[in-house]
Chains A and B, each alone.
Chain A
Amino acid sequence: AQSVTQPDIHITVSEGASLELRCNYSYGATPYLFWYVQSPGQGLQLLLKYFSGDTLVQGIKGFEAEFKRSQSSFNLRKPSVHWSDAAEYFCAAYSGTYKYIFGTGTRLKVLA
């Protein structure tokens, strides 16, 4: 069965430090992969998506993610974290027809 795993429930980084949030997927074919962010009091917002082609995708707010088929991973990165990046981040995969499969989310805390 398809699945999306985010191994880290909580991550804490200092402002200005680099960030990497992990996501692993289980899917037979080439997956469509997404990262969403949920800031406090907000809905889930799409950060970036991978469908095919270049395995390094750029998103909004300075985020990028790299698709690695050999590792079944789609990790989210940011070179320098800002305090406003504190939020919950969800990795998701399109599973066919109309639905997405989400991970459990990673809550990011940013220290000043």
Chain B
Amino acid sequence: EPEVTQTPSHQVTQMGQEVILRCVPISNHLYFYWYRQILGQKVEFLVSFYNNEISEKSEIFDDQFSVERPDGSNFTLKIRSTKLEDSAMYFCASSERGQPTGELFFGEGSRLTVL
């Protein structure tokens, strides 16, 4: 069964360092998303991406964050200068169609720990 894969599963970094989280969405999907969950808190929307551009972003997604689809398969989230409060589980998702009818398929998540 097709699935969304994310790497790394866990990354530990020092405050101020750049981090890139990688995702391989399901191959025929056209819509891509990043969500995150800080420990004990809600899963929060970060950004959606369609047709090679950001279609929506939350207030969390400030200038320190960027997304890219560098080739036909990868979808990356970059955090330029990590802060302690960026420590969270980051989930990538993709869907074949737009929302709300396009079912979201999530990856296993990448846990980011900022020291």
Chain A contacts to B: CB under 8 angstroms: 4, 32, 36, 41-46, 49, 51, 90, 92, 94, 97-105
Contact = CB atoms under 8 A, between A and B. Distances in A.
Nearest to B4: A43
Contacts, number: 64
Interface of B: 3-4, 31, 33, 35, 40-45, 48, 50, 55-56, 58, 91, 93, 98-101, 103-109
Contact of B106 (A44, A97, A99, A104): A44
Which 5 pairs across A and B sit closest by C-beta, in order of nearness? A98-B48, A102-B43, A43-B106, A99-B45, A44-B106
Main secondary structure of the interface of A (DSSP, over half): strand
Question: Max chain A CB contacts within 10 Å: which of B48, B101, B106?
Answer: B106
Contacts of B3: 43
Nearest to B48: A98
Contact of B99 (A36, A41, A94): A94
